[in-house]
């Protein structure tokens, strides 16, 4: 069964407004330009402004990184792959994630646009501040955003870079099977951990004899 419209390196038009259309496309390097300084500032704040010991700083950073993996899985499974019933909901879902499955090799809609990623990052940061306080939230959010960056760049790489090796070669195969074999499984992009925990792993199809 075919799960896509076109696998060519093309970018379909989504909006009539050229202004909106412009902001629906993003180069893969933009998240790095935006979020690497933010991550650096958060870690600097944790170590220099809040004077957290290095072991606490590292622990919070790794905890944020770990929580991102669960967030990535949850967003992909329950938000990106939610199937609305209304026509408006279906159109919104298509512009948000459905277009990526219809045109999986589109190079300008593989990483999250800043119009979405920046408000989400801000909302998560303030949520973490409410939960654990400003000093702890700074390095925790730094780790969380590092996980997001790894996800975004890995997502682009497995679609467009000739990635090989034990780790990235596996992630590429894993994600390609999500696209072309079973889009209702294999929701982890940067890690298959939660797919194994929640039993949504992808299985290799046996070759026909």
Residue labelled with tokens 């402004």: 49
Structure tokens at 143: 């780790």
The pLDDT of residue 140 is: 98
- Give the burial class of 122: count Cβ atoms within 10 A of its Cβ; 0-12 exposed, 13-18 middle, 19 or more buried: exposed
Write down the pLDDT at residue 205.
60
Going by the DSSP 8-state scheme, the letter that residue 16 receives in this structure is: S
pLDDT of residue 3: 76
Q: What is the pLDDT, as a whole number, of residue 6?
A: 85
CA distances from 14 to 18, 91, 96 (A): 10, 10, 11
Q: What is the pLDDT of residue 208?
A: 39
CA distance 73 to 97: 14
In this predicted structure, what is the pLDDT of residue 164? 86
Per-residue pLDDT of the chain (209 residues; tens, 9 = 90+): 677 888 888 999 988 899 889 888 999 999 999 999 999 999 999 999 999 999 999 999 999 999 999 999 999 999 999 888 898 888 888 888 989 999 998 999 999 999 999 999 999 999 999 999 999 999 999 999 999 999 999 999 999 998 888 899 999 999 999 999 999 999 999 999 999 999 999 876 654 33
Phi, psi of 64, rounded to the nearest 5 degrees: -65, -40
Is residue 191 helix, strand or coil? coil
Task: Answer for the pair 158, 149: CB distance below 8 angstroms, yes or no.
Answer: no
Query: First-to-last CA distance in the chain?
Result: 19
pLDDT reported for residue 174: 94
pLDDT the model gives residue 1:
61
pLDDT of 209 reads: 37
CA distance 149 to 81: 21
Can you list the positions of beta strands (E) in the chain? Answer: none
């Amino acid at each position: 069964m075919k799960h896509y419209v076109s696998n060519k390196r093309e970018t379909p038009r989504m909006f009539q407004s050229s202004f909106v259309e412009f902001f629906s496309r993003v180069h893969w390097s933009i998240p790095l330009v935006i979020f690497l300084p933010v991550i650096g500032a958060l870690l600097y704040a944790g170590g220099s402004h809040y004077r957290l010991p290095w072991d606490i700083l590292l622990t919070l950073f790794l905890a944020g990184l770990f929580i991102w993996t669960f967030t990535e899985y949850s967003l992909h499974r329950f938000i990106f792959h939610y199937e609305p019933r209304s026509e408006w909901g279906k159109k919104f879902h298509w512009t948000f994630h459905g277009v990526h499955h219809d045109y999986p090799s589109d190079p300008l809609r593989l990483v999250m646009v800043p119009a979405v990623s920046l408000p989400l990052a801000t909302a998560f940061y303030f949520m973490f501040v409410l939960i654990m306080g400003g000093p702890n939230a700074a390095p925790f959010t730094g780790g969380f955003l590092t996980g997001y960056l790894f996800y975004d760049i890995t997502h682009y790489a497995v679609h467009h870079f000739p990635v090989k090796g034990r780790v990235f070669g596996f992630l590429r195969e894993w994600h390609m099977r999500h696209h072309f074999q079973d889009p209702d499984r294999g929701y982890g992009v940067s890690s298959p951990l939660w797919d194994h925990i929640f039993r949504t792993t992808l299985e290799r199809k046996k070759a026909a004899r």
